[in-house]
Structure 1
Amino acid sequence: MTALQSLTGPPTHPTETLAVACRQIIKEFGVGDTKTVALRGVDLDVLAGQMTLLVGQSGCGKTTLISIVAGLLNATSGSLTVLGNDMMHLTGTQLVQFRQKNIGFVFQQYNLLPTLSAVENAAVPLIIAGQSRRAAFEAAKEILSAVGLGSRMHLYPNQLSGGQQQRVAIARALVHEPRLLVCDEPTAALDAQSGQTVMELLRRVALQPDRAVIVVTHDNRVFRFGDRIIHMDDGVVTKVDIPDRASGGDPESTMH
């Protein structure tokens, strides 16, 4: 299934396939008197075919956790399986190759290159992976059209609104068809309408049996989009909310 099909095709029902399994993940920064413990033994499951929201106060470890899951940081100890791969035992080269092929990361500040157009920004992951510029640009044009930026793909970041820049960032994260999409505060700088558009787009991506989406958010307006809401506090998971979509009632809370 292509990245475009995941946005435009009919969503499928979530499966019970485990995309991410964290067991007793600990992350320490510094040594001795300067040591800080950011994660204190995190247990977390992320299911394929679902959108998992990660919530909690600033400084509770959410961004550190998703950076470890995405292969951007190494855990100090614990076990981590992502898409069936033991992340703790991959070499540096193996980790880079795995991340390039399987992980898409949407950063809070977009991280678009200001001297590149929208289509050039979206094509970057494919060019890094060794595809020809022509093939990369064609794929980038396709995904940008799918996210509603077909008429703006040749504009530069400073010519786009915040919501449009975020959609370019999402297109860049999706262009190589990753199986795991990780988003850090994707609606933080957006108004209500733009935030809803972004979350609807991410949910469309999530509802595929071979994909999973993790979203870190402080925005309680988007909680309704989550299949599971993972609460964190002081470096640990404290609660898992599972919305009862069938009855439309309040989320069913289960202690993790």
Structure 2
Amino acid sequence: MIINRFLAHVGRYFQLLGTAIARPEKASMYYRETMRQMNDIGVGSLVIVVLIAVFIGAVTAIQFAYQLQDSFVPRYYIGYIVRDTTIIELAPTITCLVLAGKVGSNLAAEIGGMRQKEHIDAMEIMGVNTAAYLIMPKIIGALIMIPMLVAIAAFVSILGGYLATVPVGLISHSEYELGVRSYFIPYNITLMFIKSFVFAFILTSVPCYQGYYVKGGSIELGRASTNAVVFSDILILLFDYLIAVVFT
């Protein structure tokens, strides 16, 4: 029974995506909506992303500095570890997990509210492809803005590690700079952006699916918003593992 329900949801999810990919009837409407979503998803999330990134880098640097006490590992490794863990894992994964809660719940509530108020039904009667109009601009906006947010988060996190260690004397400026510049592998940047694109698609498409098919009243809408966040986080962690296995 559970497997049948799971397969039904998977089939309906891909069917919805197939409908959403259809060519728009009026490109100008989609352009304006995409710009609005880019502003909501990108600019609207910038503050929370920067705050989280600063503390991610600071905590990583402090914890690794603590591990280096009474060891023979050079202190400049603090900058090296902060850089690589941030780029490879913390910046894309933690940022997108947070955005799944902020952006995902908003998308599910927005589309679910339109479904409950019969706005979607009215648009379908007028001949509008509601799946394409409501979902594709959100996905496109996320695919453009979230990788930018992840890149900003990586930079700010490295800066946070610097602020947590250099001013308090745990490590010198030259040592931290040496660590950040040592053993750099450009492929890690590519891996970070691969993760950010995949996670961006997940944290927008899954909440849109939850909101698009919501039924009932406010309780069901709240449940759909919760499911959107929970399922998005689970899929992000699952694909984080799969990407690590395949690409590394």
Task: Report the TM-score, using the length of structure 1 for normalisation.
Answer: 0.23
Task: Report the TM-score, using the length of structure 2 for normalisation.
Answer: 0.23
Q: Which has the higher contact order (CA 8 A, sep 6+)?
A: 2
Considering fraction of residues, name the structure with more strand: 1
